[in-house]
Every structure is written in structure tokens, then in C-alpha cells.
Amino acid sequence: MKKLLDVQNLHVSFDTHAGEVKAVRGVNFHLDKGETLAIVGESGSGKSVTTKALMRLIPNPPGRIKEGKMLFEGRDLVKISEKEMEKLRGKDISMIFQDPMTSLNPTMTVGKQVMEPLIKHQKMNKEAARKRAVELLALVGLPNPEARIKQYPHQFSGGQRQRVVIAIALACNPKILIADEPTTALDVTIQAQILELMKELQKKIETSIIFITHDLGVVANVADRVAVMYGGQIVETGTVDEIFYDPRHPYTWGLLSSMPSLDTDEETELQAIPGTPPDLLNPPKGDAFALRSNYALKIDLEQEPPVYQVSPTHFVKSWLLHPDAPAFEPPVNVQQNLRPMPNNFDKPALFEEVR
């Protein structure tokens, strides 16, 4: 597969009165042409900051991209000028934000808002842009688009507004579509419709998608690959099957243990991850997840783990993958068909369990 986007060692910080918040710390990932990459993690893990950095929407001050590369078709988005970025933003890279009501201008008709990127980036005249806007609203499943194009955002339901936002994002057939928790504000029935719509549209326009979510149930339905994010870092990356059936990081185990399934009955207790996310004003010295993990080793409190390769597509940032680490069985309620980790009980002192 051809790499469309390649993010290398990305660091994003925010300067506050209390000090420097290191929101994103050395993130690496890539996006192939035509694939969907899901970035998952709890609130505050750095998911949205990472994708806003890709769009160069980090307000400066207080935010700044401290270090790293974001290579889009070979061009480093960190180094190009704002004028060059404006030509890419909305045309080649588009974004769907969480709340459709705050994404839309309440003083403009929906039609004008869909037409705007067509006039700016595609250089269409108003008549051609209006015709294309009607086609886009029909494409995203809005009934009677000819009439609705004249209406304002408050005249649409939440699900319909999200469809309008998707139509705006897709107006210029972007090469990358970033969806930042696009179904969070919607009820489950509308969520399913929007997710199905995005899958259909991806096939039609062959765009690549970065899908931001904290809902692993959503991930299983839409993603090809998954990046699990914690404490401003990506701790595990793999295909959907690898993340769901062979997870190796304790944080991924925690996320899966806290997710209900069709087999969950009223007597089954879902497992919560203890503690709170790390303070990124003063990031932990070793593994950011160590203080919340039941599988922490002494070395986790002293040294940051490297990234270990499990398969050609599966990478894990955890000392548990070190040859000298003890063997831990993942929680029983994660998945019943997980492969066991290799046994190795002759371990140096650094690889003794903390608890």
C-alpha cells in the first residue's frame, strides 16, 4: 500500500501559566491510500490535538508543534507556509468535528456553507456550485435537497446537521478525511446510519479516513487499522483483528475489559481502569500507564519502554514484550481466544512485578 501520510516523532505542547503541557509526545503513525485508521483512547490522551496538528489548527500561542514531521505526499506540513496550508485544508485534507451545531454557521443557509469550499478550491461559479451542493446533500442522504439547501442549521435535526457537515467535508473529494468523534452527540440509531454512510462514501470517492473515537465498538465496524493512544503517546498499533484478538498492551486490555458485548449479562461486571490519566505538565518518567496498571514492572517506573514489533503490522510500546519480562495472561473478559504471551520466568531484578 502507498503511504499517503507519514507522521514522525510529532511533539505538540501548550504553554500555560502553570507551565508547558506536553499534549503529544513523540507520536509516529502512517495512513495508507484508501484505508481507515482509528485512533482510540480516553479523553485527554492527545487524539484530537494530534489531528488538529495535521490540519495546522493548533492556536499559536498557546500551542505549538515543537518537533517532528508530517509528510503528506512527501511534503512536510510542519514546514509549509500558512498560505500553502490554506490551499490543502478543505481541499486535500478535510475534517468533521464533534458537534455539528458548532461547526455550522447559524447565520448562513446550509447551501451557502456547502458551496463555499467548491467556490474557493474548485473555482466553480455560483450556479455550478449550487448544483453540486444539491448533489452532495443528496449523496449524504438528505431528502428533498433542492428545498433544504435554502434552510438554516437550526431547521435540521442533529443527525441531519452531521450529514451536512460530512457533505461540506467531502465537497472537494479530499484525499484524507479526519473524523473527530463525529457520532458522539448523536443517539445510537443515528450513529449507525452516519457510520454506514461514511463507509459507503469512502468506497465511492476512495478517500482515506482518520477516525478519532473513544468507542471501541465503533472501531470494529469502521477501521482497517487501530492506533491506541495514552498519555500523549501511541502505545499499540495493529490491524483491527490484532487489536481485538491479540492485544498486548495493558491499556488496550483495560479498554477492551471495560467494553460490553452481546455476551455480557447482568451478572458480568465490567472492569474499570483504576486511577486517572497522567499530568502532562509533568509527564511520568517511565511508562505513562504504569501507575494505573496491574501488570507494571519496576522498569516501568524508571525507563520509558521502546516499541516492540509483534508482526509486520503490530507494534507495542511496553516492557512486557521484552524477552526478560514475565508472562502475563490478559484478563479473561478481554477475549477468550487470545494467544498466550511467551513464558520467561528467569528475569533480572528490573523485570520483577511492582504488584
By DSSP bridging, strand 36-40 and strand 208-213 are parallel
First to last CA, the chain: 43
With left for phi above 0 and alpha for psi between -120 and 50, is residue 41 left, alpha or beta? Answer: left
Calculate the CA dihedral of residues 298, 8, 232, 245 and round it to 10 degrees.
Answer: -70
pLDDT tens, 165-177?
988 988 888 999 9
In three-state secondary structure terms, 63 is strand
Look at residue 96 and tell me if it is in a domain.
no
Apex CA 230: angle with CA 228 and CA 234, to 5°?
A: 50
Give how many domains the chain has, as a whole number: 1
Apex CA 178: angle with CA 243 and CA 117, to 5°?
A: 165
pLDDT at site 266: 61
pLDDT tens, 78-116?
999 999 999 999 899 999 887 777 889 999 999 999 999
**For residue 73, what is the DSSP state?**
T
Radius of gyration, alpha carbons of the chain:
22
Look at residue 130 and tell me if it is in a domain.
no
Look at residue 133 and tell me if it is in a domain.
no
| Contact (Cβ atoms closer than 8 angstroms) between residue 198 and residue 165 | no
pLDDT at site 354: 58
pLDDT at site 268: 60
pLDDT at site 232: 95
Look at residue 19 and tell me if it is in a domain.
no
pLDDT at site 331: 76
Look at residue 297 and tell me if it is in a domain.
yes
Which residues does residue 212 pair with via DSSP β-bridges, in sequence order?
39, 180
Nearest to 227 by CA among 38, 69, 44: 38
Element (H, E) at 255: helix 250-257
pLDDT at site 347: 45
**For residue 343, what is the DSSP state?**
P
Give the separation between CA 309 and CA 180, rounded to whole angstroms. 28
Q: How many CB atoms lie within 10 A of CB 249?
A: 27
pLDDT at site 329: 78
The list of the chain residues with pLDDT below 70 reads: 1, 185-186, 260-269, 332-355
Give the separation between CA 348 and CA 333, rounded to whole angstroms. 30
| Residues whose CB is less than 8 angstroms from the CB of residue 312 and which lie 6 or more positions away in sequence, other chains included | none
By DSSP bridging, strand 208-213 and strand 19-32 are unpaired
CATH number at residue 333: 3.40.50.300
pLDDT at site 272: 80
Torsions phi, psi of 244, nearest 5?
A: -85, -30
Q: Is 12 exposed, middle or buried (0-12, 13-18, 19+ CB in 10 A)?
A: buried
Look at residue 239 and tell me if it is in a domain.
yes
Torsions phi, psi of 14, nearest 5?
A: -125, 130
Is the bond preceding 59 in cis, omega lying within 30 degrees of 0?
no
Look at residue 238 and tell me if it is in a domain.
yes
Look at residue 67 and tell me if it is in a domain.
no
Its domain, for residue 232, covers 228-351
Angle, in degrees to the nearest 10, between helices 110-121 and 158-170: 10
Nearest to 307 by CA among 8, 5, 6, 1: 8
